[in-house]
Amino acid sequence: MAPCNPARPEPGLRLCALAEIADPGAKGFRFRRDSGLFAGVVVRRGDLLAGYVDVCPHAGWPLAAFDDRFLTRNGAHILCSGHGALFELADGACVAGPCVGARLTPWAITLRHGDVFTA
């Protein structure tokens, strides 16, 4: 089991309005506590809304090099800008690139009354 990250936000924290995430699209979030950093991303496509820890299983790099550009141009996959790995939106499974068979770590989120919260 991975060590607990003290910067990881508690459940119930409002992240943003759903309308702030493009469809398809994604939005990254950063939280700091002391020297700790937690980075997460929420991806959206139609009815699908999923959260992942923003760490690529290949080399441990953040997924997006710029702003909220986490998805491929067609919005079908999450793209790691490090070495081009592609991940399924729904379950974070790597389907192409250097870490095929690995998976993004889920980050529990929930939608309530049009807002996205940690869960």
Nearer to ligand FES, 14 or 83 (CB): 83
Nearer to ligand FES, 15 or 104 (CB): 104
If the CB atoms of residues 73 and 113 are measured against ligand FES, the closer one turns out to be: 73
Is 29 or 70 the residue whose CB approaches ligand FES more closely? 70
How far is CA 53 from each of CA 4, 31, 37, 61, 113, rounded to the nearest angstrom? 13, 12, 11, 11, 24
Binding track, positions 29-68, relative to ligand FES; x by CB under 6 A: ---------------------------x-xx-x-------
CA count, 13 A, side-chain hemisphere, 57:
20
**E strand residue ranges, 11-90:** 14-17, 25-33, 36-45, 48-53, 77-79, 86-88
Contact 74, 55 (CB under 8 A): no
Nearest approach in angstroms of CB 2 to ligand FES is: 17
Binding of residue 16 to ligand FES (CB under 6 A): no
